[in-house]
Structure 1
Amino acid sequence: MAIRLTKIVATLGPASGSKTVIRNLIAKGVNIFRLNLSHGDHETVRKWIHWIREVEKERHTFIGILLDLQGPKIRVGKFEQGSILLKRGQRIIFTTEKKMGDSSLVPVQYLRFHKEVGVGNRIYLDDGKLSGVVKNISGQRVEVEILVGGTLSDHKGLNLPDASLSADPITAKDKKDLKFGIQEGVDMVALSFVGSAKDIQRLRGMILKEGGKGVEVIAKIERKQAVENLEEIVQAADGIMVARGDLGIEISLTEVPVVQQRILREGAKHSKPVIVATQMLESMIENPRPTRAEVSDVASAVMDCADAIMLSGETAVGKHATDAVGVMVETALTTEAYMAESKMIEPWNRFFKEDPSINAGITYSANRMVELLHAKAMIIFTLSGGTAKMVASPKPMVPIFSFTSSLQRARLLNLVRGAVPFLVEEDRHLLLHIEELITMLKNKRLVKKGDRVVITTGIPVNIPNWTNVIRVEEVP
C-alpha cells in the first residue's frame, strides 16, 4: 500500500464538529485538525479537542492540533439597514467616529485607520469583492471613491494593501484563545497577519509564559509586509502557511502563485514545513464533486512538494466534508505515484551557498543515497524534530519512518512531508535496536524483504539537531 507523503489539514466547524465526523475524517486521512475560533466558542472547541484525542487513542494513531489565532482583521461597523449599496464613481466617507453607517457613511472599527492610510491608497472590502481609492483625509474622515461597487453589509472585512499598519497581530481575544489552547494541549499555534520575525518571537514568548513548552508557531503569510520580510519570518517560525485568501487581496492575484513558489522554496531552504491553504476545493462546500481546476490546484501543490494541503470551509461548513478529504487523498496519491517515476531531490546548491554544517551535509547525503541505492524508505530518530525536517527538506519520494520518545513530537511530525511517526521508549538507541525496528516495520507491511533502507542518526545520542551517521540496511 502506497504511503501518502503530503499531509492533510482539515478545519473543524459546525459541519464537522461531532465525534462521528471527526472519526470519519481521521479514517479518510486527516493528519492535523485546524481549530478556527471564529467557528466555535471555548466550550465547543474543548469538546472537539477531547473527541480528537479519544479517536486518536481508538485508532492508535497520532493527530496534530493547530490553533489558528484570528488576529486583527480590520472590519467595517454596522449599518442602519444592515447593508448599503456602493456604486462605481460614488464618493463616500469612511470614518473612525463611533457612528452607525448609512448610504453616505461607512464606520471603520480600526481606530488608527485615518492616521495610517494615505491619499491614493487602495481599499478592498468583503474579501476583495468591492474596492475604492482614498481621495482625501480630514481628521477622522476619509473620502473614498468607489472603483468596484456592490452591497456592503455589517462587519465585512477591509484590506489596505498600500498602508503600513501598526495593528498588533496579537489581539486581546487572541491572548485569551492562546491561554485556552495551551491549557487544552494544542500542538501548534498559527499567527495571522504576521509582519515580521518580531511578531513570531513575541508569540513564542507568550506560549512559553503560558507553559506551552514545545508548542510550534506557524506563520501565516497573508500581508504584503510579510512577503517583503519573508526570509526573516521563515527563519523565526517553525512552519509557514500560504494563506492565499487575504494574500490575494494584499497583492495582485496573478502574483499569488509566484509568491507561493517563493514560500515553498524558502521553507525547503530553511527546513521549515509549508502548508498551502485557501479555496483548494472551495466548490465542494456546496457540490459533491470539485472542479477540474481545483483538483489541478491540489495536484500542483503536491508536485511543488508542499508539506501539507489544507481544507477550510470545505470541512468547517461544507456539505461534503469527508468526501473533500477523500478527493485530496486520492489526488495526492495519484500525483505522488507519477512523481516517484521521475522526480529527483532538489540540487545541493539550492540549499548550500557556503560549506554546509555536518547536520545539513549528512541529511542531504542520506537523500542522495536513497536515490543512488533505490532505497524504499528512510529511518531516523528525532527528539526536537530538527532531523526529520532536515531529512525531509530535499523532498525525497520515500517515507521517513521517524522514531521519537515524545508524544508531542509524534503529533508535530504530522506536519512534515513524508514523516511517519512512531513512539518508542526514551532509552532506545536507534542503531542498537535497528533490527528490531526493521522487523516491526516489516510486520506492519511498511517494508518488505529485500528493500533497502537508509538510516540516519546522531552519535552521541540525545543531542537535539545532531546528525552525523548514515547507515544502509537491507530488510531480511
Structure 2
Amino acid sequence: MEYYGTIGPACADSDTLQNMVEAGMTGIRMNLSHGSLAEHADWLELIHRAGIPELLIDLQGPELRIGRLTEPVFLKADGPLLLGAQGIPCPAALVEEAAPGQELLLDDGRLLARVDAVSGGTLHCTVLRGGLLESRKSIAAPGLEIHSPTLTAEDLQNLDMAVSCGVTGVMLPFVRGAEDLQTLRQALNQVGGEKIRIFAKIENMAGVRALPELLPLADHIVIARGDLGNAMPLWELPACQKRLAAACRQAGVPFMVVTQLLDSMCARAVPTRAEVCDIYNAVLDGASSLMLTGETAAGRCPVEAMQYLVRTARTAL
C-alpha cells in the first residue's frame, strides 16, 4: 500500500516532512500547476533529504485553470465576474467555446458562476455560489468539450527535467483516451524516462468512458474525485467510483483514490467519522494507494492528517 502527501507551504520543512515519513508516508506529489520543477529546487532538496522514495509530478495537461492573481479575489454571490481579456485570466479556449447559460465550477466546485454573455474575449458571468478565489484554481465547464493539447509547453519542460530530479511517476490530468497516454509515454521515452510510471487521472466523463482503453497503457489509474465530482451530479459520484474500482480490480491495474479524503483536517486536528469510513472503504474496494492534497499542502495539521490516513487504511488491510 502506498500513501502519498502533497508538498506545499504547510509541510515544506525538514521536520514536518520527516514526521510525515515516520507516520507512514511513502511518496509525495508536487502539483506543477502552481510552479515548475525548476522553480521548486528547494522543495526537491527537502524531499530527497527526507528520503521520500516516490516523487510524483502532477502535470498541467489539458486541465483548465484560472491564471495567476496578485491576490485572492472574493466573489460575492449574485455579483458579477469577468473571465478573460477584461477580467480574471483564464484559458482562451474556454472563452472561445463557452456560450451564455454555461455553468462554470471553480476550485473543485467550491464556487459556481454562470456565463451571461461573451464579448471582447471576455466571459461576463454572474456568481451563483461565492467565496474566495485564489490563483491557479481549477475551472470545470460541465458538458462543454474544450480542445486542448495533451501536454503544454510547460509540461514538456518539466518532463525534460524529470529524470534528473528523481521523479518516479507522472500524473496526467483529464485523460480523455489512449492517445493522451501514448503521447505522454512517448515524451517520457524521449527524455530517458522509460522507467517512470504513468498515473492516469480520471476526472471527466471522457476518461470514464475511455477506461477500458486506458487500462493496458497506464501503470496506475487515479480516481480523482475533485473534478470528477464536477462532471456529474455529486450524488452519482460514489457509484462511479465503485465502477471504476471494480474495472481496475478486474484488469489487475493498481488504482489510487484521491481528493477530500480528510478535507476537514485542513482546519481541524481530528477528521470526521465519514472521512475515516471513506478511507476504510476505499481500501476494501482494492485501492493500492491513497493521496492527500490540500490536507498536507496547505492544511493546519499535515502530520496528523498523514497519521490518520495511514492508521485508518492499515485497519482495512
> Smaller-chain TM-score range?
0.7 to 0.9
1:44 to 28, 37, 42: 42
Task: Report the Cα distance in structure 2 between the residues aligned to 1:218 and 1:252, rounded to whole angstroms.
Answer: 25
1:297 to 260, 274, 278: 278
Residue type of the partner of 2:195? G
Task: Report the Cα distance in structure 2 between the residues aligned to 1:146 and 1:320, rounded to whole angstroms.
Answer: 31
| Corresponding residue of 1:25 | 20
Task: Report the Cα distance in structure 1 between the residues aligned to 2:173 and 2:23, rounded to whole angstroms.
Answer: 28
Residue type of the partner of 2:215? V
Larger RCO of the pair (alpha carbons < 8 Å, separation 6+): 2
Q: So what's the TM-score if we normalise by structure 1?
A: 0.60
- Asked whether 1:171 is paired with 2:152, we answer yes
Asked whether the equivalents of residues 74 and 133 of structure 2 are also in contact (C-alpha less than 8 Å), the reply is: yes
- Asked whether 1:66 is paired with 2:66, we answer no
Asked whether the equivalents of residues 234 and 270 of structure 1 are also in contact (C-alpha less than 8 Å), the reply is: yes
How many aligned positions are there? 314
SS at match of 1:229: helix
Q: CA RMSD in A?
A: 2.7
| Corresponding residue of 1:9 | 4
Asked whether the equivalents of residues 75 and 81 of structure 2 are also in contact (C-alpha less than 8 Å), the reply is: no
- What is the deviation of 1:232? 1.5
**Structure 1 residues 10 and 84, CA, compared in 2 at 3 Å: closer, same or farther?**
closer
Asked whether the equivalents of residues 276 and 308 of structure 1 are also in contact (C-alpha less than 8 Å), the reply is: yes
Mean Cα displacement is larger for which, 202-211 or 299-308? 299-308
- What is the deviation of 1:160? 0.7
Rg larger in structure = 1
Asked whether the equivalents of residues 122 and 162 of structure 1 are also in contact (C-alpha less than 8 Å), the reply is: no
Task: Report the Cα distance in structure 2 between the residues aligned to 1:34 and 1:77, rounded to whole angstroms.
Answer: 21
2:303 to 312, 319, 322: 322
- What is the deviation of 1:156? 4.5
Task: Report the Cα distance in structure 2 between the residues aligned to 1:93 and 1:288, rounded to whole angstroms.
Answer: 35
| Corresponding residue of 1:310 | 291
Task: Report the Cα distance in structure 2 between the residues aligned to 1:187 and 1:249, rounded to whole angstroms.
Answer: 29
SS at match of 1:124: strand
Task: Report the Cα distance in structure 1 between the residues aligned to 2:164 and 2:235, rounded to whole angstroms.
Answer: 41
**Structure 1 residues 95 and 288, CA, compared in 2 at 3 Å: closer, same or farther?**
closer
- What is the deviation of 1:42? 3.1
- Asked whether 1:122 is paired with 2:103, we answer yes
- What is the deviation of 1:141? 4.6
Task: Report the Cα distance in structure 1 between the residues aligned to 2:178 and 2:203, rounded to whole angstroms.
Answer: 14
Task: Report the Cα distance in structure 2 between the residues aligned to 1:27 and 1:175, rounded to whole angstroms.
Answer: 34
Deviations 1:128-156 (A, max 9, x none): 23323445555635454544345656654
Task: Report the Cα distance in structure 2 between the residues aligned to 1:132 and 1:71, rounded to whole angstroms.
Answer: 24
Mean Cα displacement is larger for which, 253-262 or 21-30? 21-30
Deviations 1:408-441 (A, max 9, x none): xxxxxxxxxxxxxxxxxxxxxxxxxxxxxxxxxx
In structure 2, stretches of 5+ residues that fail to align are none
- What is the deviation of 1:171? 1.5
Q: Where in structure 2 are the equivalents of 1:82-97 lying within 5 Å? A: 83=73, 85-88=75-78, 94=82, 96-97=84-85
**Structure 1 residues 28 and 95, CA, compared in 2 at 3 Å: closer, same or farther?**
closer
**Structure 1 residues 79 and 316, CA, compared in 2 at 3 Å: closer, same or farther?**
closer
Task: Report the Cα distance in structure 1 between the residues aligned to 2:68 and 2:199, rounded to whole angstroms.
Answer: 33
SS at match of 2:199: strand
| Corresponding residue of 1:193 | 174
**Structure 1 residues 159 and 51, CA, compared in 2 at 3 Å: closer, same or farther?**
same
**Structure 1 residues 116 and 246, CA, compared in 2 at 3 Å: closer, same or farther?**
same
**Structure 1 residues 140 and 314, CA, compared in 2 at 3 Å: closer, same or farther?**
closer
Deviations 1:157-194 (A, max 9, x none): 32112111112232122222222222222111111122
Asked whether the equivalents of residues 114 and 139 of structure 1 are also in contact (C-alpha less than 8 Å), the reply is: no
